Each structure stands twice: as C-alpha cells, then as structure tokens.
Amino acid sequence: MTTVKQMFALQELDIILDRVQNEHDRAEYELNNGDAVGNLETELERDAEWLQETELQRKATKLEAATQKERSESLNSQLYGGEITNPRDLESLEREASNVLQLVEKQETALAEITRKIEEAQNKQSELESKLGEVKAAREIRQTELRASLKELSAERAGFQGQRSKLTEDLDPTSLQQYEILRKSKGGLAVAKVERGLCQGCRMSLPTHQQQRVRGGHQVVLCSSCGRMLFLG
C-alpha cells in the first residue's frame, strides 16, 4: 500500500526537481535571449548608414557653397571692376551680389552644422564600438558560465529523476495519479503536513476525528478544507 509518507517524500523530490528545472529554464532563456550585442550592432549599423548619407549631404552642401562663393567673387569683380558704369545696372548688380553673399553665408552655416553633427555621430560611433567590445567580452564570459551551469543542472536533474523513478516504482498507480492531479491543482503542494492540529496547506484547524485518522496512518486522509493529503510530520 502506498503511504502518505512515501508521497510526502515524492513531493519533496518534486519540489527540488521543479527548482532545478526552473533554474535550467532561466539559464537557457538567458543564453538564448536578451542579446545586448545584437542591439548594439543594429544601432551601429543604423548610425553608419546615417553617417554615409550625411557625408553625401555635406559634400553636396560644400560644393554648393563653393559654387555660390565663386559666383559672389565674380559679381564683386564686376561690381568693382569699373566696366559697368550705368547706375541702374550697378544697382541691380549690387543687389544680386548681396543676395548671393547671403546665400553663401547660409550655405556655410549649414555646412558647419552638418560638420558638427557628423563629428558628434563619429564620437558616438566610437563610444558604441568600445561598448560593443566590452559587452561582447562580458557576454562570452556569461555564456561560458551559463553553459557550465546548464550542464550541471541537467546532470542534477537526471539524478533526481532517477531517484523519482525508483520511488514511484513502489507506489500504486491510483495513488500516484491522485497525487499528480492534486499537485497540479493545489499549487505544487499535494501533501500537507499537520502541525498543532493545523493543515499547513491551508492553515485551517482540523476536526479532532480527522486528526485521529491521520495519526492512525492506515489510510490517506484529505483535508476537509483544501482537499490535500494530510501527513503527520
């Protein structure tokens, strides 16, 4: 006959097995997820693309600024060269020269701004690169740790599973099934200890006759409040 004591022992083993399995799952999850390296690499790629585009923009702005500057110089030499004397022509030339000069200043300001942004991005890029190096090194160490711990946990689990098979060999299938169902429905606790007349599963006090039946130890007694198997520890 299967005794509550055997099922309590089984439960203790199952609690350990659950803990080992949880640790194993957590380590496995960490090993396969939370890829800070991948995130940094994506960020670096995006920044590199932005830099490439902005570098092109800078070249175009520089070219445009140079063109306008040339135009401004040529207008100035016309303006002060003495060849144009008609006041009306001079006036319109002066207006044009002033417009172009404004344009040159605008382009140069834009160029300075783009150059500043590029320098900023380059600094960020080298920061990210050194951070990536650090993160990669740390990840390698952590992965080695995790792999070692997974190996250990697997061996531990196999050991406990072996113990469990041995234990369940002596249990009758009906009791085992009852235990499994209870454990699933009662938050992992199918067998509850009785201490000072209280069921430790639900903390309710047990009627005297129930306590006596548990003490007798001839049958599986279920707690009248929570339905767990009662065990006098």
Q: Residues interacting with Zn ion, by CB under 5 A?
A: 199, 201-202, 223, 225-226
Cβ proximity to Zn ion, 31 vs 202, nearer residue: 202
Least distance to Zn ion, CB of residue 217, Å = 18
Q: Which residues contact 48 (CB under 8 A, 6 or more apart)?
A: 125
**Count of CB atoms within 10 A of residue 175's CB?**
19
3-state SS, 155-202, equals HHHHHHHHHHHHHHHCCCHHHHHHHHHHHHHCCCCCEEEEECCEECCC
Cβ proximity to Zn ion, 178 vs 225, nearer residue: 225
CA atoms within 13 A on the CB side of 106: 8
Least distance to Zn ion, CB of residue 44, Å = 58
For residue 120, the surrounding DSSP H or E stretch is: helix 87-169
Cβ proximity to Zn ion, 78 vs 227, nearer residue: 227
Cβ proximity to Zn ion, 79 vs 204, nearer residue: 204
Least distance to Zn ion, CB of residue 214, Å = 11
Least distance to Zn ion, CB of residue 37, Å = 50
